Structure 1
Amino acid sequence: MNTDSRSTNVIVDELLTKINGQRLECDLLVSLFYSSATSSRRFSVCEPFPSAFKSPTGSKQFDNILESLNTLPPLSLLTTKESLYQLPTESLKLLDFIVNNNNNDFTVKLIDYKEFERETLYLEDLLEHLKTSQLPSKVFRFNYDPTVKEKNAEYDRLAKQFGTLFGYHGSANDSWNNIIRGRGFANQYISETCLFGHGFYFSSDSKVSHSFVKYGRWWDKSEFGDRVGCLSGCDIIDTDQTNRGIKVSPATSPLPSPRPTVYTEEDKELPDHYILSKIGGHIRVKYLLLFEDRSNSSGSSQTIPSPTPTSPGATTSSSPAVATAPAAVSIFTRISQWRPSPLSILVFSFIIYMAVLVFVGRSQPKKKPTKPLYFQSRLEL
């Protein structure tokens, strides 16, 4: 149903239910849209675009979009009918489009980190004291409705037929609204100079893709802060159009029996944990991990063009689906998050002990040497 055909009362009631029931999920959707609408690539990445903000000729009116976004308060202040009715009409329409659009073919839900850890074995091979810098602030899970869009039904059919792989992908914040709600992983934007071939890069090892998380522009009224980085966990259909390194195992296999693990020459050319998918329609975002950057609260940052991709989480900088630069995490954040291991504490204590011994030894006054007794007796004779 088109937003314009619904009454203001209906829109307010639906928004009230959604915000009071899933405020953080709504915050995520608004923030992703904000990142795309304020991007230097906004004309390509801000998709889908609300028809109410298009000119009669069909051009996107971003000035009106930004004006409406700027009038929105934090969602925690929009929990009553009165607060929603006080919004300007255009802002109410935009919030409805982002949060409560009936054309959405997915649902999003905030889940507990431990639940995500159990489902994916996230960071299972990492020592506890080394996990801190890669622990997400929030984890969201997406579910897709095959009855709303044909592409979802087609994906489910292929996933059942061929099975899936699971991989992580880091990208710029302005890409995710389009990936999740718009064009998805769009093939037409893949660079022709990818190191291991044409396609989208993932890694079954989250630590590899985490280096491609970009902390950047985010809704400044979000409860997550105004600088956030995103890492996705994706299901990738395991057809002959997908290559995988020799340490990548299938996440799901076709029934009744799993497909034999056969690695082609293209597979063997990839690094062990890499996944290369050549078809964007074979990729689905299942999880989105948010990492809050509390070290810099100065506001939003400019989007910086990314280099040609050569690793998981990397594609061309002109793509509305992905971006590639490593995360610019403050050195002070890394220091504050560091947790010493028992061995490092022992080594450090030993070094301090030896330094103290050396210092004490040097600080003692030197005694004047005495002559041997037998030498003194000979002089007295």
Structure 2
Amino acid sequence: MPATAVAWRSERQRSRGSRACGPCGSCQGSTGGTGTKKMAAPDSPLRSPPPQNSEDARLLVLKIIAEDVQAADLQWSLFVAALRSYRYDTVLRPFPTSFADQATDTKRIDDLRDVAARVPPLGALLPAGSVAKSSTSAATGPKGVPREAWELLLWVLTCGGVRLRSRKKEDVPELSGDSAVDAVFEVEHSPQADRRFEGTRGDREVFFAYHGSRLDNFHSILHNGLLAHMNKNALFGSGTYLSSELSVSATFSPAGYGWQHSLVSPELSCVAMCEVIDHPDVKCQDRARSKPSRAYARDSMAGMVPERYYLVQNDSVVRVKYLLVYTATQPAPPPAPDILPAGMVTSTADRAYYSPGWQDFLRKNKSWLMVAAYAALLCGIGLSSSRVGHKLMLKLFYR
């Protein structure tokens, strides 16, 4: 049996692998769910009550970063990648409610980008030497980071109870023969999502498969899971396509630009390593020997699902267990135009990060400036074809 399709038979293995990745309750299908849930253990910032003020948000963010700065960095980078995307209305889900106007059903995307641009490198938020361990001095941090930036960071790092944890490749036996993966992060979900997945699983076996996608999709994938209706490829049937081979899925994950200050890498690609329940709603060939009809989807236009592929037609039977990250050895500069202003990067961590005022003015008023430029062009054309315009031209240029 291939390593990517390992069935977990023992109860001990089953209980160890029981992290759910279905749609997170308050985030599913919503552009505005904050999704900060109360959870069991009080010693983790994720499981603490919502902050009462900006100081609470700052302390919680610093504690989360001190626990695992690489994981926090990637989670923020995935959010920024979705925020950069021209498809932000689709991929930036969940969307922070504090930047959504419920009355008019609009999103203040420019304001959200302004706040995100003021977030400094996460490593600079902690005292020197405390990045790799929990620090009791987490109350210290750079001055000048605005309150909105702390609150946005906290929302991103705790929304829906989803957290990332740094792992070594050696911790995942299925990756033992793959040296191309640069970093591995385990996806941890809320107990409610765990129970939903286990209820769907019952006594069925579980195996691993891989799913590749654009970088800007992974903020939504992390919180909402793999949603069949978002897939546009329906040649062999509607649903989510996965593969038993990492190299196949990696071809569907082009490198994208995330966050310019990322510790992981500003330019990277991700592949989701998923747990799939051996369920009739999973169409494939290698598990269709006893029931050949499992190799076909009812709405297939090209026959059987190809070998090495799985077609999942039920969102509840698949969950993301790990994110496999490929980093760029020489990251490209930020794409132009940079829709997320880089701000003023200084050498000291306690300086504020801000966007230049004139750039901010141009970006926020580009529509009016284009109208003004068009009006000026029309006036110029009108003057050039009139007697008054000719007289002015003669006076200005032929004195």
Whether TM-score is above 0.5 comes out as yes
Note the alpha carbon deviations across 1:125-152, whole angstroms, 9 max, x for none.
Answer: xxxxxx55xx2111001132323xxx44
> Is 2:238 the counterpart of 1:198?
yes
Deviation at 1:163?
Answer: 2.5
CA distance in 2, matches of 1:146, 1:4: 18
Farther-moved stretch of structure 1 (1-10 vs 52-61): 1-10
Counterparts of residues 314-325 of structure 1 (less than 5 Å): none
Q: With structure 2 as the length reference, what TM-score do the two structures score?
A: 0.63
Counterparts of residues 55-66 of structure 1 (less than 5 Å): 55=101, 57=103, 58-66=105-113
Counterparts of residues 1-381 of structure 1 (less than 5 Å): 6-55=52-101, 57=103, 58-79=105-126, 80-83=138-141, 86-101=144-159, 103-104=160-161, 106-116=162-172, 118=173, 120=174, 122=175, 124=177, 132=179, 135-147=180-192, 151-181=193-223, 183-191=224-232, 194-246=234-286, 262-267=290-295, 269-300=304-335
CA distance in 2, matches of 1:202, 1:273: 8
Deviation at 1:84?
Answer: 5.1
Deviation at 1:107?
Answer: 3.1
Deviation at 1:115?
Answer: 1.4
1:198 to 1:220, Cα distance in 2 relative to 1, 3 A: same
Deviation at 1:185?
Answer: 2.0
Which has the greater radius of gyration? 1
CA distance in 1, matches of 2:151, 2:141: 14
Deviation at 1:71?
Answer: 0.9
SS at match of 2:218: helix
SS at match of 2:260: coil
Report the RMSD for the aligned CA atoms in angstroms.
2.4
Note the alpha carbon deviations across 1:309-350, whole angstroms, 9 max, x for none.
Answer: xxxxxxxxxxxxxxxxxxxxxxxxxxxxxxxxxxxxxxxxxx
1:4 to 1:146, Cα distance in 2 relative to 1, 3 A: closer
CA contact (8 A) 2:209 2:274 kept: yes
SS at match of 1:76: helix
Q: With structure 1 as the length reference, what TM-score do the two structures score?
A: 0.66
CA distance in 2, matches of 1:161, 1:300: 48
CA distance in 1, matches of 2:330, 2:267: 9
CA distance in 2, matches of 1:196, 1:89: 49
Query: Which consecutive residues of structure 1, in runs of 5 or more, have no partner in the other structure?
Result: 125-130, 249-259, 303-381
CA distance in 1, matches of 2:142, 2:204: 47
1:213 to 1:5, Cα distance in 2 relative to 1, 3 A: closer
SS at match of 1:136: coil
Q: What is the aligned-residue identity percentage?
A: 22
Deviation at 1:282?
Answer: 2.0
1:27 partner amino acid: D
Query: Which consecutive residues of structure 2, in runs of 5 or more, have no partner in the other structure?
Result: 1-35, 38-48, 127-137, 297-303, 338-399
CA contact (8 A) 1:201 1:274 kept: yes
How many residue pairs are counted as aligned between the two chains? 272
CA distance in 2, matches of 1:25, 1:199: 29
